[in-house]
Amino acid sequence: PRRMQHVMSNSPHELTKQRRSSLILSQNRLKSNLVSNKQDEVRKNSVNIQMLSQSLYEQVFKTKPDSEHNVISADDIISHLSKFELWGKETTINDDVDVKLPRLQGKDISEHFYKIGFEQTEEFMSRAGDFIAQAIPEKPQKWNFKPGWTRYNKDGSMSLVPHPDEEIMVFDVEVLVPEGNFPTMATALTPNHWYSWCSERLVSERYRWVKDTSLSDLIPLETANNQTVPPSGEWKSRLVIGHNVGYDRSFVKEQYFIKGPKTRFLDTMSLHIAVSGFTSLQRILKAGIAKESQRKEVKAAELRNKSIKDAQWLLEGSMNNLSDVYALHCKEGALDKETRNIFVTGNMKDIRDNFQMLMNYCASDTHATYKVFKGLWPDFRERFPHPVTLAGMLEMGSAYLPLNYSWQKYTTESEATYVDLQRQLRLMLMKIADDACLMIEDEQYKEDVWMWDADWSVKRAKMKIKPKLSAKRQREELKKLEEAGDSEEERVKRVLETASRLPKNISHKPNFPIWYADLCPRLKDDDWSPGPTKISTQTRITPKLLQLTWEGFPLHYDDDLGWGYLVPAPPLGEYGTPEDHQEQEFNVLIDESDAGPKFPIEALKAMCDSLMPEKESFPPAGPDPRLLLNEDIHMDDVNKCMRIYWQNKKKPKKDKIKKTDANLSVPTYHKGIGPYTQVIPGVHFFKLPHKDGDNNNVGNPLAKDFLAKLEDGTLSTVAGGEAFRALELSKMCSYWRNSRKRILSQMTIWMKESELSSNIVKSRDYDVNGMYGAIVPRIVTAGTVTRRAVEPTWLTASNAYTDRVGSELKAAVQAPPGYHFVGADVDSQELWIAAIMGDSYFARQHGSTAFGWMTLQGNKTEGTDLHSKTAAMMGISRDQAKVVNYARIYGAGRLFAQRLLRRLNHQLTEDEVRGKVNFMFNSTKGRIKFKYDDKEKEFYKREKSWEGGSESHMFNKLEMIAESDQPATPVLGCRISRTLEPSAVDTDFMTSRVNWVVQSSAVDYLHLMLVSMRWLFQQFNIDGRFCISIHDEVRYLVKSEDRYRAALALQITNLWTRSMFAHSLGMSDLPQSVAFFSAVDIDKCLRKEVHQDCKTPSNPHGLEQGYGLPSGEALDIYKILKLTNSSLTKSRQPNKSDLKAKCAGLKTQDRVLEAKDHDLEINDDEFDTKSGDFETKDGGTEPNKGDEETRNDNIVDLNQDISEIFEELESQVR
Amino acid sequence: PLGTILRQNIIKQWWKSVCVSQDNVFPVENTLIDTLTMKKKRKNSQQKQISLDTLQHYSSVYNMVQGQLPFGIATVKTDFGTDVTQKETNKVLYNSPQYASMLLYYFVHPRNEKISFDFWKRHRIQWWKSFADNPSNFTMGQVRKEEDYTQLDILYSFPWGDDTIETLRNYNEGFQPGAKMTKTVKKKRSRKLAGVEEDPNATIATIPHMFETNAVLERAVLAYLLDACNDTNGKRISKRRKNDETLLLNLHRKLAPYTVALSTPERPNQHIQEVTRQLVQELRKAEISVLSTHDPRPIEEQYERYSGMGIPLCLTLHEGTLDNGLLYMRHRNTKIKEEIHVTKVCEYLLKFLAAD
């Protein structure tokens, strides 16, 4: 019954009536918490948290939800909060905010959003409905080979038109990839006509030298050639539908105008992903089944569920490419995709020669997209009933990034710096190699624990042997010599003549050790340069030259096991069994018969002794460490068996596999992947950990995956100085190395003065000599099952780091003259969403759960915020605690936390680790409690719930939603992908599903904001547009004079959005602390924080000096209200000097705020790294630019949702 | 003598990078008189910072390129006093009363000002780094905004800290000597304001925008010498090999006073000397700088001496050479004696010098 109650409470209209009285706390108790008079004036709720001011409260919550409060009594709340030492703590009080809000549309906030969302999508929805209901025109038999648009009339005739003049269309662009970012042909299908478009370049056979795409190369959808306004002078609203339409949109001319077009783009791929997309884990599994893959995820799933091939979810979804989506939603055969290859590998002539066929192919795609849309649209409408969802997706699809000269400067500087650093790196490695060469003297290398097994043999220069002459010839020669005389000239000549005896292939670097010679190019190579110039961080020998260590042990490469490190075996007899002795002695015997180089064991031992000051604490005092290990061995057994199984399976021929044996004398002072005892006798080999699991071999310890290890010192070098610098250089280059291709291939359109908006040209700051342009990012508006937008470059853009070349990427996007970016980060968005769900579940009262209270009122100085509490609990830093907290909330389990803690703190024993993690989990998530239903014993139908922790209520609520028959977000009622519905997956993919609740609600949050902002901009004539949203931040591009009003609009939007959440969860009030953004950033570029100077190796002078870009403004609600006179309406005579004075006055406050911001912001750096990890994941298989279909799948791979990372991590630990 | 060669090699590389490999950069020379008179004049002039003696060539160069932008004027000249450096004391070569400037004035269309200045910034710092053994010691200083120009320094980390070795200046719009020195300017460039269309057909002479790059040769010599020393004593301490302390000057092969040195055998052998002479002649003909002096010391000591001079390669002819033509080419940095045939040496060295 309780469960029912909450399912129903999802909708504010269906709230069950409950007793109200119990929750109203006695006034006396409240009074006892009052501290000052100021507190008397503000509204507070029963747990002493400041609520909205009376005025705002009345404006937002006009009508209370038709409900009364929960059954939880006040005493229960108090006892819960007291348990976590939160009850009675002082709460922060802010000044009340009083502002006259625009009147809500409808009777309450919920209706308001429904109405404005409806308003923004009404036209499109009805057009879309009509489009799929009516018959479509026949596809033309023959296509017109003329530049520009051709319309195919009903009577079979064709007419050239400037652009299709219709309200709705399906649209598909084809691009000849080798030519660069130029659209080649396109087709459009509307309710009335077919259209085709050919590029000038295709039809006229001129070769174009210009590499840059200009506006005139793009496809016009609304304006005539060389025009920047539509023929009628008025922009019309249109809907363009396409599969991955963000890609097609980037080839549409008008989309590069900062202002004007009302065309919206609807992506069938996003519709598909929302309705029936796979999670990335599911995609791996699906691909695995197809290929009988051996990937560990597939195997793990098979272990759990033998019949994965028959899983229902496989039938409910498909991959994201058009062909598969078509097959799923249209139940028809696959599309022909072979033809596409011409666009990928062909040239213009190929296109011309196959014009009819290719245009037909393009039209077939358009047609298929139409059919997909027809199939998907009703499903989408049913599963995403709230108009805000569609409106939000359309808005996301209108992203726009303005550029100026800074972009060019950024790309050039980054590339130049990168090349320079690569050179420095190579130089440094070369020096280290030179230095190592010196060890050849006296064979010193034999005592070097790294270089001992390099090939130190040398080749001598070879000459052909003097031809043996017969005695007669010899005599003749001698005679000749005598005749010629023994002049200096002759003698020298004879020496020079030995050249004839040079062999055809002169030996390479004679007298150099082979390993060194291998690094030197051959003299005949074109790019020959002296020295070992072929050395790089990729070469096999480099880690050894750098004298790398892992936790102090030297690295070693094994042909079968990849990179690992060497640990001295424990002294015989100390821990080992007699059998071990035999084995080891046996090994030594083998070694003696082996002619290969011998490992300098003594040197290693000496090194370990000197390097490990903490050695004395190993083995640690206390219980025999082996006892602890044994416990673990049990846990890891499966893993190890799997490993052996895999090794045997992979290399069935090799039976000399260096197997690991858990019972063998494990060095007690070291724990790792291994040991493998037969790699080198007397020494244990441990593998370096691979991110894809222990079964994988590490190919290069200098790869990006190990950067973090380098940073925390796990991976290090004893060579010091230069070697360390080399690692640093490699690290500095890493970001640009991984991103340069993507960034440099961004399609940038530079505009002529005549093509620019008058807003820009008329601006005071306009520079006639400047460069102005834009990027239209190719966003997939709902790219994951959580409906998060996906795009590989911008939505994963990292923040600027001082030691990463090119990481100032975002700051290179700069507002044109006359415009400002106005934007904000939603403060701790996901924590708050999770918290409010818990609060609503528990007592329908903000801050009633300990987790909720900490999120709303937690205070760093008092140690009452979530991160501080966890940090104290686990004995880690607050930043590290953030990782732990997010991980837990995203669904990571105890094993993950243990692993993390072990990594963060080497000093802890296994017992301590487990103890701390258990304590942390018990006090946060709580303990699970099963309720068995006696009547249905045979099914073991159970009802589980979490109890006793600060987050138990939250998890109960999330799991309740995730496990309901039709999981849907509580705010906008968005259903989960069909592939994750309980009917399709039963109890599988729980982490993904629980996480989906929060993530998908966060997307609801974003969509609500986008819709509200659009509405406010329209209502109050604010001249601006959506720019981009990255994670939980939104940015608008606003005409400078409107920027403060836009900032106020953003604040109001936040208030409304949060209120909408509260309202939808049955709470008719909102805490003041979350009502407004702590700061709205008004800035000229995109950056994390307005005062950030984004200094990086490629931007050594920072933004201010290097780019002439001053700090932006960060304004809180109070300042914004002052600057706007608390009004969204444009003041008739903006008094600029007055404004300036106000700004000046605020400057000092600014600094205070800045400090405050720092505390408030949720530092997502950890997650940036994570998204970075994905980059590498697919870094090797950089999606082919033109290969649209594969790319679509790849894009999504780049951005798994966070839950899946943890799922993956966890599955490894399991 | 070695210092002079190093100086000349640096100048050679500077000319190559600034003048030879750029479009329309022309060398000029000043007489001492010019310099002195201009210096006097300058005392009264506002343009204290500018080298007027060099800029007096502006109009001839301007005519030479027919007014086409961009163009440049380059010179290496002796200067006096402490104009460029503020009174530096206690620093070697820094307080010298006389010094040589490697100076470039570059003129661009105002439209290309940013792009072009960014180019020169990169170009100059890369030049410094390209001959460095430890390029990271050459860095770009902070931007300084002065009244007439924006200045950027290229710095080297000297033992006493970062110090300027070259200054780059981007002169402000209002401070363009080109405007005063040539009378080609008809009207002031006016900023295009909203609504005020300029007549596109009117020929408006553009005032070229001026940059200056000014490197001090003495400091370059000092910086590269310090850079080439593995540690402050010029001793190489191998991290791998114990007890290896060799005198080593790790000069870039293009700056090294000699590309190659010839060792002399411990016991003189007439035949070997003959072949040596022949080889040296061949190398000289190919314009490869060779050091071939008699040194009676043991061969290892000779090697060490040449390493200390910064000579990257050393050739040793020996008895075996007479038999099969193979000689040793000893590498400064690895100490390894590569074998090479006497007829291949010249080809190798030419490649060695040509490589980037």
How does pLDDT run across A616-661, given as a tens digit for each residue? Answer: 333 333 333 333 333 332 323 323 333 333 333 333 333 333 344 4
How far apart (Å, rounded) are the C-alpha atoms in residues A395 and A955? 32
Please check whether residue B122 touches A, CB under 8 A: yes
- Residue found by looking up tokens 């000269």 in the block: A405
Find out whether A194 and A139 touch, Cβ atoms under 8 Å: yes
How far apart (Å, rounded) are the C-alpha atoms in residues B20 and A973? 71
Average the pLDDT over B186-203 and give the result.
39
* pLDDT band with cut points at 50, 70 and 90 for residue A1051: very high
Residue of B nearest to A408 (CA): B115
How far apart (Å, rounded) are the C-alpha atoms in residues A976 and A980? 6
Residues of A in contact with B275 (CB under 8 A): 491-492, 495
Q: Which two tokens stand for residue A153?
A: 């009339």
By three-state DSSP, how is residue A644 classified? helix
Q: Do B339 and A440 touch (CB under 8 A)?
A: no
**A1032 pLDDT more than 90:** no
Q: How much is the pLDDT for A843?
A: 83
Q: How much is the pLDDT for A8?
A: 36
Q: Is A172 assigned a catalytic role?
A: yes
Q: How much is the pLDDT for A40?
A: 59
* pLDDT band with cut points at 50, 70 and 90 for residue A1198: very low
Higher per-residue confidence, A474 vs A856: A856
Phi-psi label, residue B288: left if phi above 0, alpha if psi -120 to 50, beta otherwise: beta
How far apart (Å, rounded) are the C-alpha atoms in residues B144 and A729? 28
Which of A461, A531, A766 minimises the CB distance to B339?
A461
**A1159 pLDDT more than 70:** no
Q: Do A427 and B240 touch (CB under 8 A)?
A: no
By three-state DSSP, how is residue A70 classified? coil
**Residue pLDDT, tens place only, A58-109:** 888 876 655 555 557 778 888 888 888 888 777 778 888 888 889 999 888 9
Please check whether residue A650 touches B, CB under 8 A: no
Rounded to 10 degrees, the C-alpha dihedral A373/A379/A380/A386 comes to 140
**Interface probe with B: pick from A438, A486, A529, A764, most Cβ of B within 10 Å:** A438
Q: How much is the pLDDT for A293?
A: 54
**Residue pLDDT, tens place only, A108-130:** 899 999 999 999 999 999 999 99
Low-confidence winner among A32-36, A1144-1148, B151-155 (lowest mean pLDDT): A32-36
Please check whether residue B242 touches A, CB under 8 A: yes
Note the ipTM here. Answer: 0.85
- Report the gap between the CA of A1133 and the closest CA in chain B (Å): 21
Instruction: Kindly report the number of other CB atoms within 10 A of residue A97's CB atom.
Output: 19
Q: How much is the pLDDT for B93?
A: 56
Task: Calculate what percentage of chain A has a pLDDT beyond 90.
Answer: 27
**A1176 pLDDT more than 70:** no
**Residue pLDDT, tens place only, A906-935:** 667 778 888 888 888 888 888 877 665 555
Please check whether residue A419 touches B, CB under 8 A: no
Strands lying side by side in the sheet with A194-198 = A158-161, A148-152, A194-198, A183-189, A168-175, A239-242, A264-267
Please check whether residue A486 touches B, CB under 8 A: no
Q: How much is the pLDDT for A721?
A: 64
**Interface probe with A: pick from B280, B321, B334, most Cβ of A within 10 Å:** B334
Interface of A with B in 768-797 (CB under 8 A): 768-769
Low-confidence winner among A336-345, A562-571, A955-964 (lowest mean pLDDT): A562-571
Interface of A with B in 1075-1134 (CB under 8 A): 1100-1101, 1105-1106
Residue type, A117: G
Find out whether A120 and A1014 touch, Cβ atoms under 8 Å: yes
**A383 pLDDT more than 90:** yes
Residues of A in contact with B192 (CB under 8 A): 768
Task: Calculate what percentage of chain A has a pLDDT beyond 70.
Answer: 75
Residues of B in contact with A510 (CB under 8 A): 338-340
Q: What are the C-alpha distances in Å from A352 to residues A150, A182, A187, A195, A618?
A: 17, 15, 16, 18, 74
How far apart (Å, rounded) are the C-alpha atoms in residues A1013 and A176? 38
Q: Which of A108, A172, A705, A1150 is catalytic?
A: A172
Q: Computed from CA positions of residues A211, A215, A221, A223, in that sequence, does the dihedral angle turn out positive or negative?
A: negative
Q: Computed from CA positions of residues B130, B131, B133, B139, in that sequence, does the dihedral angle turn out positive or negative?
A: negative
Average the pLDDT over A1040-1066 and give the result.
93
Pairs of residues, one from chain A and one from chain B, whose beta carbons lie less than 8 Å apart: 136
Q: Do A438 and B244 touch (CB under 8 A)?
A: yes
Q: How much is the pLDDT for A69?
A: 53
By three-state DSSP, how is residue B346 classified? helix
Q: Do A498 and B336 touch (CB under 8 A)?
A: no
**Residue pLDDT, tens place only, A196-208:** 999 988 888 766 6
Q: Computed from CA positions of residues A109, A110, A115, A116, in that sequence, does the dihedral angle turn out positive or negative?
A: positive
Q: How much is the pLDDT for A71?
A: 59
Please check whether residue B194 touches A, CB under 8 A: yes
Please check whether residue B168 touches A, CB under 8 A: no
- Determine the Cα angle at A866 with ends A861 and A867, to 5°: 75
Q: How much is the pLDDT for A386?
A: 95
Q: Do B135 and A510 touch (CB under 8 A)?
A: no
**Interface probe with A: pick from B108, B274, B336, most Cβ of A within 10 Å:** B336
Find out whether A280 and A979 touch, Cβ atoms under 8 Å: no
Phi-psi label, residue B24: left if phi above 0, alpha if psi -120 to 50, beta otherwise: left
- Report the gap between the CA of A233 and the closest CA in chain B (Å): 21
How far apart (Å, rounded) are the C-alpha atoms in residues A271 and A783? 9
Q: How much is the pLDDT for B209?
A: 82
Q: How much is the pLDDT for A610?
A: 56
Low-confidence winner among A162-171, A311-320, A1066-1075, B32-41 (lowest mean pLDDT): B32-41
Low-confidence winner among A599-603, A1189-1193, B319-323 (lowest mean pLDDT): A1189-1193
Q: How much is the pLDDT for A592?
A: 41
How far apart (Å, rounded) are the C-alpha atoms in residues A36 and A49? 14
Which of A501, A510, A768 minimises the CB distance to B324?
A501
Q: How much is the pLDDT for A750?
A: 93
Q: Do B143 and A530 touch (CB under 8 A)?
A: no
**B156 pLDDT more than 80:** yes
DSSP classification of residue A254: G
**A1099 pLDDT more than 70:** yes
**Residue pLDDT, tens place only, A428-472:** 888 888 888 888 877 778 777 888 888 888 888 777 776 666 777
**Residue pLDDT, tens place only, A958-983:** 888 888 888 999 999 999 998 888 88
- Report the gap between the CA of A428 and the closest CA in chain B (Å): 8
- Report the gap between the CA of B325 and the closest CA in chain A (Å): 5
Residue type, A1101: H
By three-state DSSP, how is residue A1100 classified? coil
Residues of A in contact with B155 (CB under 8 A): none
- Residue of A538, A536, A537, A554 whose CA lies nearest to A453: A554
